[in-house]
Amino acid sequence: MGDVYEAGEAGGADEPSMSRRALIESEDLAEPQRVLDRLRGEPVLAVRTSYGDELMLHLGEWIAHTPERADDQGRGSFVLGTRASEWRLNAASAAPGEGLVDGAGDPAVLVGRSVGQASLALADLELALTFEDGSTLTVAFDPTEEELASWELFGPGGRLYAVGPGRWWTVVESAHRDL
């Protein structure tokens, strides 16, 4: 089993705690897979892209912005963001019988579609989301990236889950539960 490192107690009431696990053997994927399983059935609410073609999927239930953050557009109860990684979308065609189309186009086609399955492959740490209509989104893992996570998942309760940099699974527990 991969090494486990705990950052220990949070330094104070406003500081997060963190744990990391090396993703080396198949049993190391148990916790990441449990987290990814929570995405099943969750609809895509919004898709945003940013600098460097980073992709951000808002899933689950919509959480409205807070008055203190007027610039906040709101977010999903889950937010999946690609970081130092390439992603590929194969969207199911709107026309029956046409199969899948190359997803070089707009990822906004995922809005309204629900996640059917989410998985992480041990060999290459590729993240795969399969939607109920047959569309797929894959996020590649770059083993040479030394600074940024391949992808991050912000979840309910202020938790941040990440794969990378390197073959690491990281969980950050925020002291701010409304993040």
Domain membership flag for residue 8? no
Residue-level pLDDT at 84? 77
Q: What is the pLDDT of residues 57-77, one digit of tens each?
A: 999 999 887 666 556 678 899
Tally of domains in the chain: 1
Q: What is the pLDDT of residues 102-145, one digit of tens each?
A: 445 578 889 999 999 999 999 999 999 999 999 999 999 999 99
Average pLDDT, integer, range 91-110: 63
Domain membership flag for residue 178? no
CA nearest 82: which of 155, 153, 161? 153
pTM above 0.85, yes or no: no
Domain membership flag for residue 114? yes
Domain membership flag for residue 118? yes
Average pLDDT, integer, range 16-31: 93
User: Widest CA span of the chain, in angstroms?
Assistant: 57
Domain membership flag for residue 4? no
Domain membership flag for residue 116? yes
Reported as a pLDDT band with limits 50, 70 and 90, residue 94 is: low
What CA–CA distance (Å, rounded) separates 44 from 4?
32
Checking if the pLDDT of 97 tops 50, the result is no
- Distance, C-alpha 179 to centroid of its chain: 15
Domain membership flag for residue 7? no
150 vs 72: which has the higher pLDDT: 150
**In a 10 Å sphere around its CB, with 0-12 CB exposed, 13-18 middle and 19+ buried, how is residue 66 labelled?**
exposed
Residues of the domain holding 158:
18-64+73-173
Domain membership flag for residue 95? yes
Residue-level pLDDT at 107? 86
